Structure 1
Amino acid sequence: MSEELNPFKIAQKQLDEAAEYLGLDEATHEMLRWPQREIHITIPVKMDDGSTKVFHGFRVQYNTARGPAKGGIRWHPQETIDTVRALAAWMTWKTAVMDLPLGGGKGGVICDPKSMSEGEKERLARGYIRALAPLLGVTKDVPAPDVYTTPQIMAWMMDEYETIVQEKHPGIITGKPLCIGGSHGRMDATARGGIYVT
């Protein structure tokens, strides 16, 4: 991918321009140019045909100075760490501009969910959470749905997290179904926010 098309390089360039305009001190500028924490994981999944496929995933906790990392989980065959980094950076800045007590995060798995059965998707969702569980929590990192992840996938993830920690934690995941603590209006919240901003 060329540097001018690399989403993370674009995000860094935007930050550099903003830092110069704001007169941001060098240490703060450098801290905001890179993720605070970046996790790369492998997730073995038993497929319906009996084989085991290993999926590669990421979670970027870009900055948690203002609160827990917040951001979606993307499942896409062309997912890249640079896209996930950029989206986590932009989430950090969006929550700061809106003065929300949240940091920025984003996750991804390289997979083609359109070609996967419900059982395979469930096993992938649970494996993703098992790999990341020690780094998640309402005071650490709260994932949400994004590209090709659904309320059902969020439900499986929340269930897996609660199974691991042996406690109820409905706040660990947003975007889950209403019947297990999801929010009314969540499905169209991003579009509604766009209306208010414009």
Structure 2
Amino acid sequence: MAMVRGRRAHRKLATRDALQRAALELVRSNGPDAVTVEEICARAGVSPRTFFNYFTSKEEAIIDWDAEIDAFVTTAVAERPPAESPVRAIRAVLASAVGDAMGMDMWQDRMELIREQPGLIGRFVAVMGSVQRALAAGVARRTGLATDHLYVAVTAAASVAAIRTAIQAWTDAPDGTDPARLIDDAFAYLESGLAPPAH
């Protein structure tokens, strides 16, 4: 039975991967507005019904995010060493997460699409909103404050602003620029209290 469940899980991951690849390839070639879910499904060799078992839209297939990632971010931030400031804890968690993401097969394609296709910004903003809520929950747990406390909200919002600004800087940077380094630099500025860098 465990072997059957293992095969089923492997097939589900393979199907998800095939749909994401098809979406990335088609949108990269034609732009998001010119691609339909049906075309993505035809490229992946599955039905539209199967597509909607995994994603609610083509944008979601390209920039994937789910509740399990939110839960991981919240717990990871909450459980960082107590001596770390909340911003330092967030910086460490996101540095690790970005490092893991960069090792994934489709990371670069996703980042390039965000750079090239303004039509994906809405999905990216939605994902950043989810990240912000997850970070706020982690900061609340580590500080004992309510999730709607102003300190918690400002810390999470500033952290997400740092991520978004770093990624925007990366989209305008020369090819080969490391987005993880820009994110780390952005958090270094936050930790310094936004003191101006030395000339």
Q: Which has the higher helix share?
A: 2
Asked if TM exceeds 0.5, the reply is no
TM-score (norm 2): 0.28
